[in-house]
Amino acid sequence: MNAHYIAVAFFTVALLTSPVVWAQTQRDLDSHEHGASALNVIVDDDHVYVEFESPWANLVGFEHEPGNDEQRAAVNNALESISDASSMILLDSSANCEASSSEVTSTMAMADEDHNDHDHDEHSDDEHGHDEHSDEKHDDEHGHDEHSDDKHDDEHDHDEHAHDEETHSEILVSYAFECANPDKLETMTVQLTSTFPGIEDIDVQLAGPGGQSGLELDADNNTIDLTAVK
């Protein structure tokens, strides 16, 4: 079940149980707060569906397009880890549940190659060749060029800082599990906070045939009681 169908399924269950809870879930998912994230869980007979949404900053410390190899590696490592459904979500072993799907959707722009910052320097070298007949004039212009370069660097740093503050990107992960012994399914342990320390709290909305409930998880409390909604 992909992200769209999970959202539709959760909407249907929540609508039948509590429109207020569904409205709160939508507000939580639409908000963008670093450290905070949202988790929707649906228990449906022998199937469990999980949807997790978080700002990228919680996973890698930034949300802008990766600008170097280190940042690209951080994003790729995060994607590899969070795509492993059986590592992120632990269900009772006696229920014999297996991950049937894992889907990741991201709004982060990915860089294809490094930016070329050498054009300005090459242009300055050309100007140096034209000014070789007048050392004094060249020195004056060279000093002006250095001042311009400093100003350009300052403006570039300012632009990057502003870009980091304005850029918001999120990741949405959908997991599906199928359980051979659903009667044995009682708890779910969420490993997201231990894998990504930037996730400080997870707002959970839980729904199933037995009703719905909400709770909050953090690094010290990462277990969900599923029996209340079965």
> pLDDT tens digits for the chain (230 residues)?
454 455 445 544 444 444 444 444 444 445 567 899 999 999 999 999 999 999 999 999 999 999 999 999 999 999 999 999 999 999 999 999 999 999 999 999 874 334 344 444 444 444 444 444 445 444 555 454 554 455 444 444 444 444 455 688 999 999 999 999 999 999 999 999 999 999 999 999 999 999 999 999 999 999 999 998 99
Q: Please tell me whether residues 71 and 7 are part of one structural domain.
A: yes
Place of tokens 């707002």: 203
Q: How far apart are CA 69 and CA 112, in angstroms?
A: 11
Q: How far apart are CA 201 and CA 193, in angstroms?
A: 8
Q: Please tell me whether residues 105 and 58 are part of one structural domain.
A: yes
Q: How far apart are CA 108 and CA 75, in angstroms?
A: 10
Place of tokens 């990504």: 196
Q: Any idea what DSSP says for residue 218?
A: B
Place of tokens 């991950």: 99
The model's pTM is: 0.69
Q: How far apart are CA 135 and CA 15, in angstroms?
A: 79
* Beta-ladder partners of 118: none
Residue type at position 43: V
Exposure string over 84-123, b if 16+ CB within 10 A, otherwise e = ebeebbebbeebebebeebbeeeebeeeeeeeeeeeeeee
Q: Please tell me whether residues 29 and 81 are part of one structural domain.
A: yes
175 touches 91 (CB < 8 A):
no
Q: Please tell me whether residues 156 and 178 are part of one structural domain.
A: no
Could you give the number of structural domains in the chain?
2
Euclidean distance between the first and the last CA atom of the chain, given in angstroms as a whole number: 20
Strands (E), 20-146: 36-44, 47-55, 89-91, 97-106
Decide if 98 is inside a domain.
Answer: yes
Q: Please tell me whether residues 91 and 204 are part of one structural domain.
A: yes
130: containing domain: 119-164
Q: Please tell me whether residues 133 and 94 are part of one structural domain.
A: no
Decide if 114 is inside a domain.
Answer: no
Task: Name the 3-class secondary structure at 223.
Answer: strand
Q: Please tell me whether residues 146 and 177 are part of one structural domain.
A: no
